[in-house]
Structure 1
Amino acid sequence: MADEGLRPIIIKRIKKSSGHHGGAWKIAYADFVTAMMAFFLLMWLLGSTSKGDLEGIADYFATPLKVAMAGGTGSGDASSVIQGGGKDLTRIEGQQQQGEDPKTRKRFDLKEAEAELARAEARRLRALKERIETAIANIPSLQQYKNQLLIDITTEGLRIQIVDEQNRPMFALSRAELQPYTKVILHEIAKTLNDIPNKVSLSGHTDATPYASGERSYSNWELSSDRANASRRELIAGGLQEDKILRVVGLSSAVLFDTGNPYNPINRRISIIVMNKKTEESITRENQTVDVQNEEAVQQAVGQDAATPGEADVSPPR
């Protein structure tokens, strides 16, 4: 009994942990999620990349230095990994392309565009011709002068000619002074010319009758020039914008209306031309120089000038 009092007393303490395996499971789970994201990303790329691009990627990883040095079909050739350009990445069929397809890219023909502009300009000039003819028919003050107003379309544009009659001249005899009815005609014409962007050319003409004082001091050249300039001033007074007039010339009797009778009063006239674009460019290009060393440029310039007829091609309207 005495030995039992000397036995040691053993106390067992149980340690309780705060969780299963501590925080190590979080690291493992994060690695798993990362691996799954990489896997699904790989699956998406494989599913949305074309067969040719896949072959290019495979070739690159097989021989990366060869592709890098020599080039070729590879992943860099693809502009987008999404086929069809649609919004639903899980669909391939039935998608609408939202980008520009190089195969169906619009191509513009410069010659066809120029031809279309010429046709549109011709339509404007025909409409202006009809408008002037309607004004002549409807305005009482112009009806009596309809035989002196000749309107036609030439290679230079719309031509409006105001011609003399035997007993009804436009100007005072041998002078550049306009008759009152000529001013009325010019004012009515001026009202219609501001509606289109085309420039205007004026030329004065006389018949072949020599000037009374001879050809030395004052001749038909000066007279035709003065009459053309007097017509210009009257058009501006009638409302024509001054910057629309591009050329004013006097041609004396060099360009006859009636070539069979140089003394016919109809040869005395004022010619107003609403120029087309080609004629306008030929005038504005007169001061440009051409390098004679460039044979091709010289031939082109000469060809363009020859293709644009001048005032000498005027012929009586039918």
Structure 2
Amino acid sequence: MADTSNINPELIRKKRPKKIPPADETEQWLLTYGDMVTLMMTFFILLFSMSTLDPVKIRAFADAVSEVMGASPVERDQLDLAAIMEKVTDIVLEQNMQENVTVSSSKRGVNISFKGDVAFKTGSAELSDLAKNLLNKLAPEINAALQNDIPFPIAIEGHTDNVPLREGGLFKSNWELSTARASATVRYLINIGGVVPPEGQGKLSAIGYADTWPKPGYSNDTAEGRAANRRIEIIFLTIG
């Protein structure tokens, strides 16, 4: 008969199956919440893709998303600027002005660049009819941006080439000319276009740079470059 006195009872004890701990109820709630947020995002993005871009609606959409997802102000502003860029581009195309007006985006914001030779007569700060027609169309978008919950700063910038003005003219230098052109554009937007700058915020400005800020890629050493550098720019500046 075999000796079983040295056998450890623990070795022959039947092992009980380990119980699987119940899932954490908090984690289950978070998973459900995450699924709900994803579905809501998909729904809103679908509506957004099918609708006409509007700065006010974009701001409301961005604010709703930011509350759920924690989007930064800079990200919300980029949505607004994308809507603004699409609308002003459509206006330029509708007016058949794409040969004289360019719309671009950069770190500064959305830039509408108008050829100076088309917007003004040589050595003059009086707006042409073409320029006035375009400003009439752009004015509502400019005003909407200024009246936003967080207004976009808008800079109207005058630029010239490096050719000195003739003596005896209305302006003594390109500094005076570029500043006068920017100021004339702002005055027209306010007096005729109905643009209302927010009080006490300095959100609408007129600045003259003369020949100190050439258009990227263009030099005042060539006739083509000088023509490109004579311009008026309307810039929807980034907030962040």
Separation in 1, partners of 2:108, 2:84: 15
1:158 aligns with 2:113: no
What pairs up with 1:64-75 in 2 under 5 angstroms? none
Q: If the length of structure 1 is used for normalisation, what is the TM-score?
A: 0.46
Separation in 1, partners of 2:212, 2:222: 10
Question: 1:205 deviation in Å?
Answer: 0.4
Larger RCO, structure (CA 8 Å, separation 6 or more): 2
The match for 1:210 among 141, 160, 164 is 164
> 1:201 maps to what in 2?
155
> 1:185 maps to what in 2?
134
Separation in 2, partners of 1:214, 1:130: 43
What are the superposed Cα offsets for residues 209-267 of structure 1, whole Å, 9 maximum, x if unpaired? 1110189x710000000000001011112122133743211000111121264542121
> 1:131 maps to what in 2?
87
> 2:196 maps to what in 1?
241
Q: If the length of structure 2 is used for normalisation, what is the TM-score?
A: 0.60
1:259 aligns with 2:211: no
SS of 1:146's equivalent in the other structure is coil
SS of 2:72's equivalent in the other structure is helix
CA contact 2:155–2:236 (8 Å) conserved in 1: yes
* Paired residue type of 1:226: A
* Paired residue type of 1:125: L
* Paired residue type of 1:154: S
1:276 aligns with 2:230: no
* Paired residue type of 1:205: H
CA contact 1:163–1:170 (8 Å) conserved in 2: yes
Question: 1:200 deviation in Å?
Answer: 0.7
* Paired residue type of 2:207: V
The match for 1:122 among 72, 78, 98 is 78
CA contact 1:205–1:224 (8 Å) conserved in 2: yes
Separation in 2, partners of 1:189, 1:260: 29
SS of 1:277's equivalent in the other structure is coil
Q: What percentage of aligned pairs have identical amino acids?
A: 26
Question: 1:193 deviation in Å?
Answer: 1.7
SS of 2:140's equivalent in the other structure is helix
Question: 1:270 deviation in Å?
Answer: 0.6
* Paired residue type of 1:259: S
Q: Which has the larger radius of gyration?
A: 1
* Paired residue type of 1:238: G
Question: 1:190 deviation in Å?
Answer: 1.0
Separation in 2, partners of 1:192, 1:228: 18
The match for 2:178 among 201, 220, 224 is 224
CA contact 1:207–1:262 (8 Å) conserved in 2: no
CA contact 2:92–2:134 (8 Å) conserved in 1: no
Separation in 2, partners of 1:175, 1:262: 22
Structure 2 unaligned spans of 5+: 1-24, 27-68
CA contact 2:116–2:232 (8 Å) conserved in 1: no
> 1:297 maps to what in 2?
none
Separation in 2, partners of 1:242, 1:117: 22
Separation in 1, partners of 2:239, 2:222: 32
What pairs up with 1:5-84 in 2 under 5 angstroms? none
CA contact 2:197–2:204 (8 Å) conserved in 1: no
1:174 aligns with 2:123: yes
CA RMSD, aligned part only? 2.5
* Paired residue type of 1:117: P
CA contact 2:178–2:210 (8 Å) conserved in 1: yes
* Paired residue type of 2:81: L
What are the superposed Cα offsets for residues 112-149 of structure 1, whole Å, 9 maximum, x if unpaired? 95x621111101101111111122223xxx21x21111
Residues 255, 262 of structure 1: CA spacing in aligned structure 2 closer, same or farther, 3 A cutoff? farther
Separation in 2, partners of 1:246, 1:136: 21
